[in-house]
């Protein structure tokens, strides 16, 4: 048997010392791909990531290198961008830092893969997309929720026409983020400062755009109401600060084909539902509720017939008539699944539709959501 063909791919990983970058992109994606022997593209052919960790804090990088087993790290972004050993630039920095670094990498001929939102406004996001197109580099944006087991099960139901005609989608996302006065907050303080590009509308409407576009139909319009329910929080240094960004968003979307979607996104809610994110889909033939990993269904034939009567105890247990979608396969980490697709795209030119243009659409919806909130009116979403 001939020796395996290994395609070594250098990856600049900038900003992976943050929670998401460390856990999902480094440890659960790139490190796991290395451990499994690379991404297999044929019987005897593999893609092997060769990452270098980039950041501004040497101590954090040293700890991260020790934890991950990735030996190479640097605080000198310019040097690795100039190094031809690295073909891909990945960005997980805070949103405000992304534009300059992605532009520099693209102009240096690096393929681009980055977290969302890809920019702080639509014009800047579109500029990044155009820069990458003109530079002739491949590019992609993280759209992780599309590979969550719960949403994959939901997609299979749709492919098998379980729902009939889909009528509506209701999304509930969020949890209580502690203010920090007595219990430390479990999200970074910049999330709650508008001046640092914080806010749940900017953060989450980027997600809802690709979930809705890919599963249910392209978003055509939005009405969004934001709120800053908790006006004061405590930062990582124990200092009290004013929360200037929205910590909750209540949005209604009209989708192509007439489907209506509504999403509540909140860091100020206590969870009494199946998961931190649930999608409730109603159709003429049946309904489903998908969480991050599980999915429950109720077919037309199993739908109870309640009668409104608040004067007597409800006789129907509304949870009873739902069936859990069985585990028919093993699902990989959602971030890792998309990383593998992007690596195949770069090395083998396999299709990859989640380009920076999809990232632009996410920024656009967030921007239109903020516009809707400011104007207190319905806002149309123009085609890009």
pLDDT category, 1, cuts 50, 70, 90? low
**Are 277 and 181 part of one and the same domain?**
yes
User: Which domain CATH number covers 273?
Assistant: 3.30.360.10
Residue 344 lies in a domain: yes
Residue 218 lies in a domain: yes
On the question of pLDDT at 70 being above 80, the answer is yes
Instruction: For residues 271-287, give the mean pLDDT.
Output: 97
On the question of pLDDT at 2 being above 90, the answer is no
Residue 358 lies in a domain: no
Residue 23 lies in a domain: yes
On the question of pLDDT at 18 being above 90, the answer is no
On the question of pLDDT at 273 being above 90, the answer is yes
Total count of domains within the chain: 2
User: Which domain CATH number covers 51?
Assistant: 3.40.50.720
Instruction: For residues 49-53, give the mean pLDDT.
Output: 98
**Are 177 and 301 part of one and the same domain?**
yes
The C-alpha atoms of residue 170 and residue 148 are separated, in whole angstroms, by 17
**Are 45 and 13 part of one and the same domain?**
yes
**Are 186 and 102 part of one and the same domain?**
no
How many CB atoms lie under 10 A from the CB of residue 270? 8
**Are 94 and 161 part of one and the same domain?**
no
**Are 151 and 239 part of one and the same domain?**
yes
| Burial of residue 29 (number of CB atoms within 10 Å: 0-12, 13-18, 19+) | buried
Task: Say what the pTM is.
Answer: 0.94
Residue 189 lies in a domain: yes
**Are 102 and 86 part of one and the same domain?**
yes
Nearest in space to 55 (alpha carbons), one of 97, 24, 83: 97
Across the chain, where does the E strand assignment appear? 5-14, 39-42, 45-54, 73-74, 86-91, 111-114, 139-141, 166-174, 219-227, 232-234, 240-242, 248-255, 260-266, 277-283, 286-290, 295-299, 323-324, 379-380
Segments forming the whole domain that contains residue 86: 5-143+334-353
**Phi, psi (rounded to 5 degrees) for 312:** -130, 160
On the question of pLDDT at 258 being above 70, the answer is yes
**Are 223 and 286 part of one and the same domain?**
yes
The C-alpha atoms of residue 158 and residue 211 are separated, in whole angstroms, by 14
Instruction: For residues 61-68, give the mean pLDDT.
Output: 96
Orientation angle between helical segments 122-135 and 356-375, nearest 10 degrees: 170
Percent of the chain exceeding pLDDT 90 equals 96
């Amino acid at each position: 048997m001939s020796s395996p063909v290994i395609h070594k791919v250098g990856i600049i990983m900038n900003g992976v010392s943050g929670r998401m970058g460390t856990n999902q992109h480094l440890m659960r994606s790139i490190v796991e791909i290395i451990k499994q022997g690379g991404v297999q593209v044929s019987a005897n052919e593999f893609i092997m990531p060769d990452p270098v960790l980039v950041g501004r804090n040497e101590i954090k990088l040293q700890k991260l290198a020790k934890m991950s087993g990735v030996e190479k790290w640097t605080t000198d972004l310019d040097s690795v961008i100039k190094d031809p050993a690295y073909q891909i630039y990945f960005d997980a920095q805070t949103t405000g830092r992304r534009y300059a670094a992605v532009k520099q990498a693209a102009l240096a001929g690096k393929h681009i893969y980055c977290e969302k939102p890809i920019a702080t406004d639509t014009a800047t996001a579109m500029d990044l997309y155009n820069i990458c197109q003109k530079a002739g580099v491949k590019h992609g944006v993280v759209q992780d929720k599309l590979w969550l087991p719960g949403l994959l099960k939901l997609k299979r139901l749709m492919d098998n026409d379980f729902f009939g005609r889909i009528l509506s989608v209701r999304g509930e996302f969020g949890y209580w983020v502690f203010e920090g006065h007595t219990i430390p907050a479990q999200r970074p303080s910049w999330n709650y400062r508008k001046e640092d590009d914080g806010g749940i509308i900017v953060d989450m409407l980027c997600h809802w755009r690709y979930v809705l576009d890919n599963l249910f139909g392209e978003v055509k319009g939005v009405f969004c109401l934001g709120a800053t329910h908790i006006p004061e929080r405590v930062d990582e240094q124990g200092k009290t600060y004013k929360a200037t960004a929205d910590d909750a968003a209540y949005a209604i979307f009209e989708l192509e084909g007439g489907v209506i979607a509504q999403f509540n996104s909140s860091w100020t809610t206590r969870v009494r539902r199946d998961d931190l994110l649930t999608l409730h889909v109603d159709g003429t033939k049946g309904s489903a509720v998908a969480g991050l990993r599980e999915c429950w269904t109720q077919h037309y034939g199993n739908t109870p017939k309640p009668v409104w009567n608040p004067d007597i105890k409800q006789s129907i247990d509304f949870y009873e008539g739902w069936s859990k979608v069985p585990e028919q396969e093993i699902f990989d980490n959602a971030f890792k699944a998309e990383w593998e697709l992007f690596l195949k795209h770069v090395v083998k030119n396999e299709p990859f539709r989640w380009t920076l243009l999809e990232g632009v659409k996410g920024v656009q919806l967030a921007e239109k959501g903020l516009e809707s909130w400011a104007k207190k009116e319905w806002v149309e979403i123009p085609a890009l």
